[in-house]
Amino acid sequence: MKRRIGILTSGGDCPGLNAAIRGVTRAAYEMFDAEIVGIHDGYRGLIEGDYQAMKRSDFSGILTLGGTILGTARTPFRDMRKIGEDKVDKVAAMKKTYKDLKLDCLVTLGGNGTHKTANLLSQEGLNVIGLPKTIDNDIYGTDFTFGFHTALDIATDVIDRCHTTAASHGRCIVVEIMGNKAGWLTLYSGVAGGADAILIPEIPYDIKKVAKVVESRAKSNKGFTILAVAEGAMDKEEAKMKKKEREAKRAAEHFSASAYVAQQLRELVGVEARNVVPGHIQRGGSPNAYDRVLSTQFGVHAAELIRDGVFGVTVALKGNEITHNKLADIAGVPKLVPEDDRMVKTAKNMGIIFGDED
């Protein structure tokens, strides 16, 4: 039986997207008679009918390739049911493209926003399967998302490199790691890179407690400090503000999270504090071996679900098992770092501070 499959990548890019696309398509070609339609630039392509018929050869040589061969774009879920100046009913347009292409299934690769729209389309009667990608690792119901471990390697390498220059000059270096809402990447890279303090959005910090550690190290024979700070980290006063108030405060002061922490430490301790922002470097380049394997496993499982007629789900890793969750159960449910998470306990038991200590 022939199955016609649409594939799109939505939201921010990350390592492993092409490996996952390859996993889906190669397994589909092997297991059943498959036709693949590549949809350009995420949901925008589905709305506007921007797509191309794909050949087997299109998926050759992309296992190690970063980014996405299909292109990607952000189309916020909050706008999906809004009709703007262009008078386009986005949901109706996506359904029309799906039906015009005579698709049997739509495979969506993306993060939280992508999964919310995937669930919306599933509720509208389309056959949808999600694949969880994000360097933030914040999709509920899966132990890891693909892209996370490669970003972890990169972020850890940045921290490692900052260690040597910090030690050489006796400086305090604040490394800003991606993660606006979830601190998984900062937490893991902070532990892997031997940071002295880890500041994440889920645990608002008291800068005076952080300053105490920095001052103590500055006076010791070590003389330098490394802080891993999530881009969404906030102090306890900022945590009391609404999101828009907090963003306006930072914008007015021209501070990123790391710049703010560095400025506070210069004022409180008088140390030479510098901030480093690796930014999109963390999302770029070839996926590491772990993400190549995980992406492939996720893609193959998606093809198995298509073969078996199981839709309205997203693929997941639970323990050592590749499985799936209902889209309705995970869409819009972010996976944040619990204060009692095992990795948080591991870090604290090693003497790494989070700025919330009593």
Query: Can you give the three-state secondary structure of the chain, one letter per residue?
Result: CEEEEEEEECCCCCCCHHHHHHHHHHHHHHHCEEEEEEECCCHHHHHHCCEEECCHHHHCCCCCCCCCCCCCCCCCHHHCCCCCCCCCCHHHHHHHHHHHCCCCEEEEEECHHHHHHHHHHHHCCCCEEEEEECCCCCECCCCCCECHHHHHHHHHHHHHHHHHHHHHHCCEEEEEECCCCCCHHHHHHHHHCCCCEEECCCCCECHHHHHHHHHHHHHCCCCCEEEEEECCCCEHHHHCCCHHHHHHHHHHHCCCHHHHHHHHHHHHHCCCEEEECCHHHHHCCCCCHHHHHHHHHHHHHHHHHHHHCCCCEEEEEECCEEEEEEHHHHCCCECCCCCCCHHHHHHHHCCCECCCCC
Query: Which CATH number characterizes residue 87's domain?
Result: 3.40.50.450
**Can you tell me the distance from the alpha carbon of 195 to that of 80, in angstroms, rounded to the nearest whole number?**
41
**Can you tell me the distance from the alpha carbon of 283 to that of 260, in angstroms, rounded to the nearest whole number?**
23
pLDDT of residue 221: 73
**Does a structural domain hold residue 292?**
yes
Q: Do 257 and 165 sit in the same domain of this protein?
A: yes
Provide the token pair at 356.
């919330």
Q: What is the pTM of this model?
A: 0.95
pLDDT of residue 247: 81
Q: Tens-of-pLDDT digits for all 358 residues of the chain?
A: 789 999 999 999 999 999 999 999 999 999 999 999 999 999 999 999 999 999 999 999 999 999 999 999 988 899 898 888 888 999 999 999 999 999 999 999 999 999 999 999 999 999 999 999 999 999 999 999 999 999 999 999 999 999 999 999 989 999 999 999 999 999 999 999 999 999 999 999 999 999 999 999 988 877 899 999 999 999 998 889 888 888 888 788 778 999 999 999 999 998 889 999 999 999 999 999 999 999 999 999 999 999 999 999 999 999 999 999 999 999 999 999 999 999 999 999 999 999 998 7
Number of domains in the chain: 2
**Does a structural domain hold residue 336?**
no
Provide the token pair at 281.
């470097």
Residues assigned a catalytic role: 136
Q: Do 133 and 32 sit in the same domain of this protein?
A: yes
Q: Do 266 and 180 sit in the same domain of this protein?
A: yes
**Does a structural domain hold residue 245?**
yes
**Can you tell me the distance from the alpha carbon of 10 to that of 133, in angstroms, rounded to the nearest whole number?**
10
Q: Do 278 and 299 sit in the same domain of this protein?
A: no
**Residue 134 CA: distances (Å) to CA of 18, 26, 150, 159:** 13, 22, 11, 21
pLDDT of residue 218: 85
Q: Do 279 and 293 sit in the same domain of this protein?
A: no
Q: Which of 283, 304, 339 delimits the end of a domain?
A: 283
Q: Which domain holds residue 71?
A: 2-146+287-330
Q: Do 182 and 139 sit in the same domain of this protein?
A: no
Q: Do 139 and 187 sit in the same domain of this protein?
A: no
**Does a structural domain hold residue 251?**
yes
Q: Do 160 and 267 sit in the same domain of this protein?
A: yes
The rounded Cα 317 to chain-centroid distance in angstroms is 15
**Does a structural domain hold residue 357?**
no
Q: Do 137 and 163 sit in the same domain of this protein?
A: no
**Does a structural domain hold residue 298?**
yes
**Does a structural domain hold residue 350?**
no
Residues 6+ apart with CB under 8 A from 134: 11, 12, 14, 110, 111, 112, 145, 147, 148
Residue 146 β-bridge partners: 133
Residue found under tokens 């645990």: 203
pLDDT of residue 223: 82
Q: Do 115 and 31 sit in the same domain of this protein?
A: yes
**Can you tell me the distance from the alpha carbon of 99 to that of 126, in angstroms, rounded to the nearest whole number?**
9
Q: Do 305 and 243 sit in the same domain of this protein?
A: no
